[in-house]
Amino acid sequence: MANRIRKVRAPLLYRWGLKRKSVPCKLTSAPLLVVAPHHDDETFGCGGLIALKRQAGVAVQIVFVTDGSQSHRDHQSLRTADIVASRQQEAIAACAILGVSAVNLHFLNGADGELNEMASIERSEMVHRLAGIIARSGAKEIGVPYRKDCHPDHEATHALIEDAMDLAGNGADLLEYPIWLLWKRTLRDWTTTELGGAERLDVRTVQEIKNRAIAAYDSQLQGMPGGFVAQFQLGEEFFWRYRLPARADSPQQTRDAIAAAS
């Protein structure tokens, strides 16, 4: 019953909320780093943006924060190592379709489903690893799940990236992309301020490429609720953009040290 309600509600939120209050934007030439909590989030949320950037010859790198090991936790016959390996191979295939080679992918193998429960030392190590990737990438746009994306790992990833960007100190635009937002939030959860201000990117010219990349995640599509995937096949992507300036107290040598140590 819940999924049937969501299947009806999500298109309404999309049409009358997010799309109506968003503003069209143009593709930029800024190098892009996409941070995905799980293997497939990058394609659902930013697949069109990634494909357009690569077609324009813009550098793109992608970070997968967790190992994705909990996607089949109800199937006890599947070994964790096999799930992790399978999801990585699917990610490599999907990203290749979008135009990003394996050399530009980073698998951090954090504990799936436990990002918001990391011990302080473990979290600090993750932040430093992310800061190193940010510093090395030279990215001027960083895609990350929406800060209130209704999934613990997604919201924890957002917090990790904010801390990592602060540590790295290099200014960049944060592009927050929604994954579970429209599916799990109810109408009364939304505010006018939240719905306003999102940017809307036309990805119709690469939607077929994005669809093929989505299809590469065969193991994940089998467990998706009916109607969920369709919201990412409408030829548009949405982002909340925030500019984070470079820190004056984080000189280039500090950023170089972070990059070298990670």
Domain of 187: which CATH number? 3.40.50.10320
Per the CB < 8 A criterion, the answer to whether 70 and 37 are in contact is no
In this structure, what is the dihedral angle of CA atoms 181, 231, 57, 102, given to the nearest 10 degrees? 80
Q: Can you tell me the distance from the alpha carbon of 159 to that of 210, in angstroms, rounded to the nearest whole number?
A: 27
Residue 70 confidence (pLDDT): 87
Q: Which of 98, 129, 83 is nearest to 223 (CA)?
A: 83
pTM of the model: 0.90
Residue 15 CA to residue 19 CA, distance in Å, equals 5
Residue 262 CA to residue 177 CA, distance in Å, equals: 26
> Tokens standing for 213?
């990349």
For residue 191, the model assigns a pLDDT of 59
Domain extent for 56: 2-261
For residue 82, what are the contacts with CB-CB under 8 A and spacing of at least 6?
none
Structurally, the chain folds into a number of domains equal to 1
Q: What pLDDT does 82 receive?
A: 87
Kindly state the tokens that stand for 24: 């069209």
Position 170 scores a pLDDT of 77
pLDDT in tens, the chain (262 residues): 566 666 666 666 676 667 888 899 999 999 999 999 999 999 999 999 999 999 999 999 999 999 999 875 555 556 888 889 999 999 999 999 999 999 999 999 999 999 999 999 999 999 999 999 999 999 999 999 999 998 999 999 999 999 999 999 878 999 999 999 888 776 556 555 566 789 999 999 999 999 999 999 998 998 888 789 999 999 999 999 998 777 666 555 555 555 555 5
Give the pLDDT confidence score for residue 42 in this predicted structure: 98
CA distance 103 to 60: 11
Q: Enter the tokens of residue 12.
A: 């309404």
